[in-house]
Copies of this chain bind each other. A is one copy, B any other.
Amino acid sequence: MSRVVDESTAAPGQRPDGILSPLLTVDSVLFTYHERLLKILLVKRSVEPEAGKWGLPGGIVDVAVDSDLQATALRKLVDKTGIAPTYLDQLETIGDRLRDPRGWSVTVCYTALIAHQACAYHVDTVSDVRWIALNKMRHLRLAFDHRELIKKAQERMRQRALYSILPGYALPELFTLGELQHLHELLIGKALQKRSFRRRIEQAGLLVDSGQKRQEQGRPAALYRLRNKSLSYRFVRNLEG
């Protein structure tokens, strides 16, 4: 059985089986912690639509290359940073008629974390890629609905900071509890009690002291390392409201 399909009016894309198939892209909000700031990776778009604006690292799913959606996300991130992120997690999928001027389109959005040092060199050598501090994004021109995606990723990370130490993946392999706490404070938007924070980390047995020390000012701090299992802990009182 076959039937006639008119290509000239078929937009967005029409599959040979007669099904109108929207454009499918994958985008990632890649966070890192650097110089006491929370930053995300943005790419300056050089092609239309939205040329000249900043956008999330991502692109069209290539069914000839990518085995699954996450592979697309990874491929695009490695392309921009030179390295795979240490954490990658699906955030949400947005798909409608209005978000892309070309018509009905879908983006599967991921949240990712990486240590700044791990990709600093690669990012510095590529002109269209930059780490942007989250508190300096207000006046930036962003492509499509990417500002909304970033906001959602931020909220997701905030929840993670409340109930887990997963944000630690935005730090180097070895880090101090002071660094981890500050990162959590940036995500949560509120100062935390040092005593409570340390207690949670220790009680859950989530981190391993590696014996070494590091300092910039004041007493040297113990260095910790993330363990792969049980990254989540319990509940934090009095953080909401």
Contacts and interface: CB of A to CB of B under 8 A. Distances in A.
Given A15-B14, A21-B21, A95 B2 contact: no
Interface stretch (A63-71, A127-135, A211-219): A63-71
Contact of A13 (B3, B15, B97): B15
A17 interface: yes
Assembly stoichiometry (copies): 2
Interface string A213-241: 00000000000000000000011010000
A4 interface: yes
Interface string A1-39: 111111110111111111111111000000000000000
Question: What class of interface size applies to chain A in its complex with B?
Answer: 35 or more
A68 B95 contact: yes
B8 A5 contact: no
Interface string A53-78: 00000001111100111000000000
A20 B90 CA distance: 22
A204 to B, nearest CB: 12
A173 interface: no
Given A13-B13, A63-B104, 18 more contacts: A2-B7, A4-B4, A10-B15, A11-B16, A13-B19, A13-B21, A19-B23, A20-B63, A20-B64, A21-B24, A61-B106, A63-B97, A68-B97, A69-B106, A90-B92, A93-B108, A95-B108, A106-B106
